Chain A
Amino acid sequence: MEKNAYLTDAPILAQPFMAEFSAAAGASILFFGIVRQLSHGKHCHYLEYEAYEPMAVEQIESLKSEALQKWPLEQVTILHRLGRIYPGEIAVAIDVRSAHRDDAYQASRFLIEQIKHQVPIWKKEYFEDGTCAWGGCETTQSPETFDSNQWQWSRERELANELF
């Protein structure tokens, strides 16, 4: 079931996102993040997502507001899965509609990148060989191979220097 407007324990279905279009929005960019079977050379059996839910909701709400301020958008819908999810299923859906396509393309990209790097949601990958690993952790990936989160690692190094 949907826990709130942005997080859900239930499978995210593609069809409802394509149900209704308004005449004001000439562009609709629908992004689905799908669980990939091959992850770091291993076959994924399933994932489990968990979140710091109140903060995740606030962060997604804030990102949505930021997108609405940056671009003239007609509508923004964001839904992220929690719990167990299998390869081929939708992990996140981002639907951005605007009068013209440039704004929708840019806002869609902005939102998925920010969600991946900012929002307190974590995945644990369970592989077919029986092993498992938390995504985004040094225990499974070295910072050097963590290219999409470079800024985050450097920020964390700063924090670490302040701490210890």
Chain B
Amino acid sequence: MNAVLPKIKVTVLFFAVLKDATGLKRLEIELERPQTCGQILRGLSDQFVNLSGLLQHCRLAVNGAFVDPSRVLAGGDELALLPPVSGG
């Protein structure tokens, strides 16, 4: 009866100060069940202590479009964590 659900694979992208804090440009994550972006961030802040204090200043984008933390991630989604921008 208990079918094994396929895991949901998502990619997290780190830029600028977040890239330096984690030492990563990207991270592949496998989720057992659907999670919101906010839940992912909480997991990341547990995993990377250097991120504490930085994530709260980030905007979030999924597949190149801004989203709220309540957005639920689907398989193949690309979650980008965008610290305050400084182009121009």
Contacts and interface: CB of A to CB of B under 8 A. Distances in A.
Interface residues of B, number: 29
Determine which residue in B16, B54, B82 has the highest number of CB atoms from chain A within 10 A of its CB, and name it: B16
Q: How large is the interface on A (under 10, 10 to 19, 20 to 34, 35 or more residues)?
A: 35 or more
Interface stretch (A21-29, A67-75, A95-103, A120-128): A120-128
Interface stretch (B4-12, B27-35, B58-66): B58-66
Nearest to A118: B85
A92 B84 contact: no
A121 B83 CA distance: 10
A51 B87 contact: yes
Contacts of B53: 138
Interface string B65-88: 000111000000000101111111
Interface of A: 33, 49-52, 54-56, 58, 80, 91-92, 112, 115-124, 134-139, 146, 149, 152-153, 155-157, 159-160, 162-164
